[in-house]
Amino acid sequence: MSRGFIVPIGGAEDRMRDPAILQEFVDVCGGREARIAIIPTASSRPETGPAYERVFHELGVGAARSLPLESREDCDDPRWLSRLERAEGVFLTGGNQLKLSTTVGGTEVAKIIRRRNAEDRLHVAGTSAGAAILSEHMIAFGDEGSTPHADMVTLAPGIGLTRMVVIDQHFRQRDRLGRLLTALAFNPGPIGIGLDEDTAAFIGPDDTLEVHGTGAITVVDPSELEYSSMDSAKQSDAVCMLNVRLHILIEGASYDIRARKASSPPVSVEEAAAS
C-alpha cells in the first residue's frame, strides 16, 4: 500500500541560513503550489506558528497557515478540519510532546492526518516534539545517558502514522541512546531512530528512510535481540541487551526499514575520480 511521506526532524533545524530540510519537505509536498498546515500546539510560545508561516512563505509556499489548536475543542473546529482536508503537507512544531498528544490525540485532527497520510494524499513532518509523536509509540520523556535502565523512559501513544519505528530527537546533543534502547527493550519489534539536530529522516511510501541534514541518524535494530534483562530488572537497574545492531547514517545514506538493511551514501563524481 502507498502512503504519504513521514518526515521526523531532530529539532533545531536551520530555518534561516540554509533551510535545506524544510525546502526538501516543500518539494515533497508539491513546491510553490503546496498548501501546508502548521500545527504549533506543542509550543508554549505564541510566535512559533507565525514564525514557521514566514519560513514557508520565504521558501515560496503561497498557502502556509498556522492552525491555533490550543484545546481539544479547537481540534473539532470545522474551519481547521477543512484546511487539513485540503492540505498537501502538515508540519508539527517542537515543544512538549505530551502537550501535543493530550490536545490532539483521538480528535478529528489526528484522524484526518492519519487517514490522509495512509491514502497518500498528505505528507507529514514534525520537528523535535512534533517528530516524537509521529509513530504509534511515542517517547514521552526520559533520562539522559548511554546505558539503558529499567525506569529510564516513559512511553505514550503517538498519532500512529507508522508502527515500524520509535523516534527520539536531539539525540547526540542530549545523550539519548540509553532511553531509546530502553524503549526498544520493552518490546523489540520496531526499529529505533535517533535524530541529531538539523537532521531529518525522509521515510518514503516504500518505508525506505533517506537522511538529510548536517548531523547523523542512529538506527537501532533489535530484531535479532538474543537476550534482555528487562523482565527481571528492578527500578533503576541497568538493562542487559545482547546482539543489538546499530548503524550511524549521514546525509545521503539510507535504510530499508522492512528489510532492516542500511546503505552508504552514493559516491560522488569527485570521489570516484580521486579513487
| Cell numbers standing for residue 238 | 541497568
Amino acid sitting at position 185: A
* 3 state DSSP class of 83: helix
CA angle 194, 196, 198 (to 5 degrees): 135
Catalogue the active-site residues: 128, 170, 197
Task: Judge contact between 6 and 200, C-beta under 8 A.
Answer: no
Residue found under cell 516534539: 129
Helices (H), the chain: 20-29, 48-58, 78-86, 97-104, 108-118, 129-132, 177-186, 269-274
CB atoms within 10 A of CB 16: 7
